[in-house]
Amino acid sequence: MNRPTEIRHYRTEISGFRHRVMAAAGIVVLLFLFLLGRFFYIQVIQYHHYFALGESNRISFLPIPPNRGIIMDRNGVVLAHNYSAYTLELTPAKIDDLDATIDQLSRLVNITAADRKRFKKTLSESRNFDTLPLRTRLTDVEVARVAANRYRLPGVEVKARLFRQYPLGTSASHLIGYIGRMNDADVAALQKAGRYDNYRGTDHLGKVGIEQSYETLLHGKTGAEQMETDANGHAVQSLARIAPVSGDNLVLYLDSKLQAIAEQAFGNYKGALVALDPKTGGILAFVSRPDFDPNMFVDGIDTADWDALNNSPDHPLIDRALRAAYPEGSTVKPFMALAALHYGLRSPEDVIADPGYFSLPGSTHRYRDWKHGGHGMVNMHKAIVVSCDTYFYRLANDMGIDRMHQYLSQFGFGRKTGIDLQGELPGLLPSREWKAKHSKQPWYPGETVIAGIGQGYNLATPLQLAVATAALANGGMTMRPQLVEAVIDSRTGQRRLVPPQPLTRIDIPPDQLKVIVDAMIDVTRPGGTASAASAGAPYLIAAKTGTAQVVGIRQNEKYDARHVLAANRDHAVFIAFAPADNPKIAVAVFVENGGHGGSAAGPIARAVMDYYLLGKLPKPSAAGPAIDAGANRHAD
């Protein structure tokens, strides 16, 4: 009885087994169809998506940075250019132990402690995945040594790069500025401006000066090479190439020789000078002393050098010509006199008696003239020539601060000139509104009185004073100060002039102007406050001296002139234009702690005018004004 059941059992078992094989086969087919569905999905439906991903994997655009434009002066002297050199570069992202790698490299090439420090600083400021320079200007031997050992130095590369160089070194450093490594803030700014794409492959940009303000023109257009690359980023082959477009070259109004003479004329003095062509507003010389070597910044300045420059009490990095505001002092007097004529408050012949001081009606407070006992009978001409304070105290009181503010603002005092550089300060031309806003106090009549001689709240940058002087020289036509005369297209070589831009036309009747200019000419003649500085000039100079009192000065941030000795505190100011009958150059000079304008600042302006008008080099002995504290306040 057992047997049949067992046979039947066996048969059902066999048929059950067949079912199981069929079921297995069914599952196999089902799962393979599932795979097929997946293949169909990614290879047909999603094909374009994955194809594009594959291509972007494979093809990369390697940016080709453009050559930066060259900057030259009006005579073609090169102020900023590029040279090619080999650099040793590290990619920190690919290096495990940076110090060990640098140690290893130091056995192959000469790596100084300064190089290490600079590299550390650059590293701390760098973007991720950057390659950073460790050493620049490798010699051929060093290049060969690194190349031979490259296989055991992953993340180390030798690259041929273009470097920026400023052949004149410290000369005109504030004006030319420098380029430096892009930092995160620069990148963010470029991204915001939508210009970052044009900076792929570039790691420097203009930071200061013309390098900064003309960055867009100087930089050029980045090209690209379409490369097939492998997963490690190594180029396999080039597929296409779009050539970069070099940046435009800039031609400045600046005369580098004139600039050098002006800088030498400062000697050890601190201060600033701006010389411009009154007809165009073109900047001929632009001095800020002390200065610095912009070449230090190109490869990344090391911490010690940076601290030395940044923490120096002399503040060499600050461009005094447009970022230091000084009281204009007596140099404001010609403009005050013009205002008097304009408002009909004085005729040129009106005479006052100067007892050596001025008092407000009903007050016993005496505003003293610089000359004890006064200048006697003084008309407008004499008031300018001898720089009579009493005359202008009284005039200011008669004019009132409102009219004073209104008239002087036409010359650009109290607002930015719009020069093609960034960071300009607006100076300060005080008014009732300004004071109300600034100190929430009413304007006092006494403040008007001292504003009449350019003291009190008044502040002007050397650039502003030069622009105002040029406006006088130009018969009231104020030109926007401008550094760049022409832009040379790098592709076509075409020279495109940057047209001079009139700022304002101040309506000055010629007879009124003549009164002022004549007086300013007599300032430079015997009896005038600038006679010594102008002696023997074969051309007519119109000038005005000034002394800026330092007490209560507000200058730009960090700059604190209170550190200097009390005896040396006053700043010398000097404005001039020449030839007075056909002005070709207008100059404004501030000499910090230089004392009286005629003796300290005058000779500097004279040296500049002599070279510009006569091509005359200053005598070696007159290379710098003697520092003569005793000359303080002897005539102003």
Partner 1 sequence: MQIKRWLLKIAIHLDFPLLLLLFVLMILSLFLQYSASGEDKSHLLMHGINMLIALGVLVLVANIPPPYLLALAVPLYTTGVILLVGVALFGDVVNGSRRWLHLGVTRIQPSEILKIATPLMLAWYFHYHEATLRLKDYGIAAVLLAIPVALVARQPDLGTALLIAASGFYVLFFAGLPWRALFGMIVAGAASLPILWHFLHDYQKRRVLTLLHPEQDPLGAGYHIIQSSIAIGSGGSFGKGWLHGTQAHLDFLPEHSTDFVFAVFGEEFGLLGNVFLLLLYLAIIARGLMITVNASTLFARLMAGSVTLAFFTYAFVNMGMVSGLLPVVGIPLPMMSYGGTAMVIVMLGFGIVMSVKSHRKLIKS
Phi, psi of 505 (to 5 degrees): -110, 110
DSSP 632: T
- Taking the complex as a whole, the smallest distance from the CB of residue 238 to partner 1 amounts, in Å, to 15
Q: Is 566 in the site for partner 1 (CB under 8 A)?
A: no
Residues contacting residue 188 through CB under 8 Å, at least 6 positions apart:
none
Among the listed residues 7, 15, 53, 551, the single contact to partner 1 using CB under 8 A: 53
Q: By C-alpha distance, which of 291, 636, 601 is closest to 466?
A: 601
Q: Across the strands, what pairs with 90?
A: 132, 156
The DSSP annotation for 231-257 comes to TT--EEEEEEEE--BPPPEEEES--HH
Find the part of the chain contacting partner 1 (CB under 8 A) among 49-57, 81-89, 215-223, 448-456.
49-57
- Specify the residue, 48 or 619, whose C-beta has the smaller distance to partner 1: 48
Residues 24 and 47: their CA atoms lie apart, in Å, by: 32
Q: Is 36 in the site for partner 1 (CB under 8 A)?
A: yes
Q: By C-alpha distance, which of 263, 202, 333 is closest to 589?
A: 263
The two structure tokens encoding residue 415: 């607002």
Q: Is 58 in the site for partner 1 (CB under 8 A)?
A: yes
Please indicate whether residue 124 is annotated as part of the active site.
no
- Specify the residue, 31 or 141, whose C-beta has the smaller distance to partner 1: 31
Q: Is 240 in the site for partner 1 (CB under 8 A)?
A: no
Cβ atoms of 555 and 324 within 8 Å: the answer is yes
**CB neighbour burial string for 510-527, b if at least 16 within 10 angstroms, e if fewer:** eebbebbbbbbbbbbeee
Among the listed residues 7, 8, 15, 31, the single contact to partner 1 using CB under 8 A: 31
Q: Is 54 in the site for partner 1 (CB under 8 A)?
A: yes
CA distances (Å), origin 140, targets 11, 90, 111, 144, 579: 90, 19, 15, 6, 55
- Taking the complex as a whole, the smallest distance from the CB of residue 89 to partner 1 amounts, in Å, to 23
Q: By C-alpha distance, which of 528, 519, 407 is closest to 471?
A: 407
Find the part of the chain contacting partner 1 (CB under 8 A) among 21-29, 369-377, 437-445, 502-510.
21-29
- Specify the residue, 229 or 359, whose C-beta has the smaller distance to partner 1: 229
- Taking the complex as a whole, the smallest distance from the CB of residue 263 to partner 1 amounts, in Å, to 55
Among the listed residues 47, 83, 129, 444, the single contact to partner 1 using CB under 8 A: 47
Q: Is 43 in the site for partner 1 (CB under 8 A)?
A: yes
- Specify the residue, 59 or 617, whose C-beta has the smaller distance to partner 1: 59
Q: Is 50 in the site for partner 1 (CB under 8 A)?
A: yes
Among the listed residues 136, 229, 504, 568, the single contact to partner 1 using CB under 8 A: 229
Q: Is 129 in the site for partner 1 (CB under 8 A)?
A: no
DSSP 584: -
Max CA separation in the chain (angstroms): 157
- Taking the complex as a whole, the smallest distance from the CB of residue 6 to partner 1 amounts, in Å, to 8
Residues that bind partner 1 (CB under 8 A): 13, 16-18, 20-21, 24-25, 28-29, 31-32, 34-36, 38-40, 42-44, 46-47, 49-51, 53-55, 57-58, 228-232, 236
Supply the residues annotated as catalytic. Answer: 330
